[in-house]
Amino acid sequence: MIGLDVGDKTIGIAVSDGLGITAQGVEVIRRTSLAKDLDRLRILIEQYDAKELVIGLPKNMDGSIGASGEKVQALGDVLKETFPLVKLTFWDERLTTVAASRMLIEADVRRDKRRQVIDKLAAVLILQGYMDGCRRSY
């Protein structure tokens, strides 16, 4: 599984271990064009033999979908078309970036370093939340 934290400028990437128990941060894609984003995702999907993409869906606090959520859903449509053999799952990502930021501040990570890793950590929280949710439903 691969977890994605999609933003306008970056995409944080996390992957699950083989058993689907833990998520690890892999990288942050600096977005330059849709074609390059898809090429890099294709490489990661092949490298990690991913059968599922878990995409953080930003929702408003009342649960509605705003402009950011609509952009992520539109990217999801492109991903479904581009990678038809990969299952696509949206996961509520409310407050994951806030939680990631707090974790980094508590760990005393410098501000410039936080900017470099926050999207990757948010992707980890999205993927880990999804996997934990799946285990609870069994």
Hey, what amino acid is at 132?
Answer: D
Residue 137: φ, ψ to 5°: -80, -5
Hey, what amino acid is at 78?
Answer: V
- Which pLDDT score is estimated for 73? 96
Distance CA 86, CA 108 (A): 38
Residue 134 CA to its chain's centroid (Å):
16
Structure tokens at 30: 């600096």
pTM: 0.87
Q: Where are the chain's structural domains? A: 2-136
Q: What is the pLDDT of residues 36-66, one digit of tens each?
A: 999 999 999 999 999 999 999 998 888 889 8
- Residue 97 contacts residue 5 (beta carbons within 8 Å): yes
Half-sphere exposure of 119 (CA within 13 A, CB side): 18
Position 138 pLDDT exceeds 70: no
Instruction: For residue 137, name the pLDDT band (cuts at 50, 70, 90).
Output: low
- Residue 72 contacts residue 126 (beta carbons within 8 Å): no
The DSSP 8-state label assigned to residue 45 in this structure reads H
Mean pLDDT of the chain: 90
Q: What is the pLDDT of residues 4-14, one digit of tens each?
A: 999 999 999 99
Q: Does domain 2-136 have CATH number 3.30.420.140?
A: yes
